[in-house]
Amino acid sequence: MTVELMWLWILLGYVAVSSVLYFICRMKCKKDPIFKAPKSRAVYYILSFTWGLPTVLVGAVAALFIRLMGYRPRRYGWEWCFEIPGISWGMELGLFFISPAGDFDSIKMHEQGHGIQNIYLGVFYPTVVLIPSAVRFWYRFIRKKIGKPCRTAYSDIWFEASADKSGKTFIDICRKTLDSGNIDDL
C-alpha cells in the first residue's frame, strides 16, 4: 500500500468517525443537551492537553497573536477569555476564547460550553462542532448583512444549544461554590 493510499484511508476513517459522532451527539442532545464538565480542573486540563490537544494548539497560537495585538486575557471558568471591543460574537479554540468587551456573560458561557464539548469530542471536535458552528455563524451573519432574515434561532441546532446549556450549567455551578459569586476567582 502506498503512503498516499494509507493517508486517504486514515482521512476517510476520520470523516466516517466524525460523521457517526455528529449523529450520535445530535441524538443525545435531543434527550439531554448538557455535556457535563469534569468535577476537577486538573481533569479538564488533562483532557484538553491530550484528547483535545489539536484545538488547544490552534487556540494557543491564536491567543499569542491576540496577546501581541495588546489584548490581555482574563480567566473565565476554566478557560482564558480575550475581550475584544467592537465585536458582537465569540469564538472558542481549546482553552482560549474571544468575546465582546463588556458584560456579555451569555456569550462567555456559550464559549465555555464549546470548551466542554472539546474535551468530550477531542480530535473530532473541529469537524463535529467547530467547523459546522463557524459555517452556520458566517452564513447567518452574511444573510443579516444583506437584509435577509434567518429562519431559525441561533441555538436551534444541537451543538449550539448544547454549548448554551453546558456552559450555563457549568458557570452556575462554579458560582454556587464561590462565596463571592465572582467567576474570575475560579
Q: What is the mean pLDDT of residues 12-38?
A: 74
Q: What is the pLDDT of residue 185?
A: 47
Q: What is the pLDDT of residue 20?
A: 76
Residue 184 has pLDDT above 60, yes or no: no
- Give the structural domain span for 127: 3-185
pTM of the model: 0.83
Q: What is the pLDDT of residue 176?
A: 79
Residue 7: pLDDT band with limits 50, 70, 90: confident
CA nearest to 160, candidates 145, 139, 182, 176: 139
Q: What is the pLDDT of residue 1?
A: 66
- Number of domains the chain is built from: 1
- Per-position b or e across 6-28, b if 16+ CB within 10 A of its CB: eeeeeeeeeeeebeebbeebeee
Hey, is 17 helix, strand or coil?
helix
**C-alpha–C-alpha distance, residues 31 and 88, integer Å:** 30
Residue 186 has pLDDT above 60, yes or no: no
- Kindly state the cell numbers that stand for 162: 448544547
